[in-house]
Amino acid sequence: MNPLVKVLLDFFFPPLCHICHSFIPDAGAVHICQACRGALKPVEPPMCQVCGIPFQGAGADHLCGDCSKAKPHFDAARAVFLYEGECRELIHAFKYRNKTFLRRPLALMAAGALADFVSTQAPDVIVPVPLHKKRLRSRGFNQAVLLGELLAHEWRLPLERQAMCRIRWTVPQINLSADERRHNVKGAFAVANSAAVAGKSVLLLDDILTTGSTVEECARILKQAGASKVVVITIARAVMR
Ligand SMILES: [Zn+2]
Ligand SMILES: [Zn+2]
């Protein structure tokens, strides 16, 4: 770009950090400054090889207590950041304050952080966790679909927006115990287009993983519809310590 054009563009449309709103001269596509990027805590090993829950301290990856007791229906799950601090703020602004442009930094950071995991898993298709049509109407968008559109582009995978649907209204999972969450989502999902998932390795996408009950129920339904494999990715992972 012509340096004068850049000076003018920066003057009229200053690239600002999405978190602290400071000016970033070389913002790139993510638009989050180095300091704020450093405040986002990545999910790091050691972690459970299956559900991806991080363990405290050093050591090798191993199965967590829950996954060694009963293997989940999904084959593996990974998240980019711990759901706390600035990450929580970003996701809240994206989801509840209508700042849908935040899908770009979130998806681009996920595309980079999970690139190795996704290429190893070699999925055939991305399936976003669906919203109930009542919630879709009130929110106006499905956050997982918005993220999925960008990730599908980055990873050159098809996005199957309508592969699954929510057939039952569920109360928000927040404030529910792990058992209540499992019960709450039981029978809430269906595969709407089994041709989109039968015999395929599915990359199931959601914004946050808390106890995993939602993605676990989706994975169960996807496998029932013939998916050969289900791996889960989320932007954030809530860890109850
Ligand atoms: Zn910043
Ligand atoms: Zn586990």
pLDDT digits (tens, 9 = 90+) for 71-104: 999 999 999 999 999 999 999 999 999 999 999 9
241: pLDDT strictly greater than 70: no
Closest ligand to C-alpha of residue 24 is 1
Give the tens place of pLDDT for each residue, 124-147. 999 999 999 999 999 999 999 999
Tell me which ligand sits closest to the C-alpha of residue 20: 1
Q: Which domain holds residue 78?
A: 45-237
Given a cut of 80, is residue 60 above it in pLDDT?
A: yes
Q: Tell me, yes or no, whether 79 and 9 share the same domain.
A: no
Do 167 and 97 fall within a single domain?
Answer: yes
User: In this structure, are residues 32 and 18 in contact, taking their beta carbons and an 8 Å threshold?
Assistant: yes
**DSSP structure class, residue 192:** S
pLDDT, mean of residues 153-175: 93
Least confident of 33-42, 54-63, 171-180: 171-180
Question: What is the CA(184)–ligand 2 centre distance, in A?
Answer: 21
202 C-alpha vs ligand 1 centroid, how far in Å?
Answer: 35
Cα distances from 204 to residues 27, 128, 148, 200, 234, in angstroms, run 30, 6, 10, 12, 9
- Residues 124, 60 share a domain: yes
Q: Tell me whether residue 117 is exposed, middle or buried, using C-beta atoms within 10 angstroms of its C-beta: 0 to 12, 13 to 18, 19 or more.
A: middle
Contact in structure between 146 and 103 (CB atoms under 8 Å): yes
Amino acid at 93: A
Whole-number pLDDT of residue 112: 96
User: Model pTM?
Assistant: 0.93
Claim to verify: residue 7 and residue 123 sit in the same structural domain: no
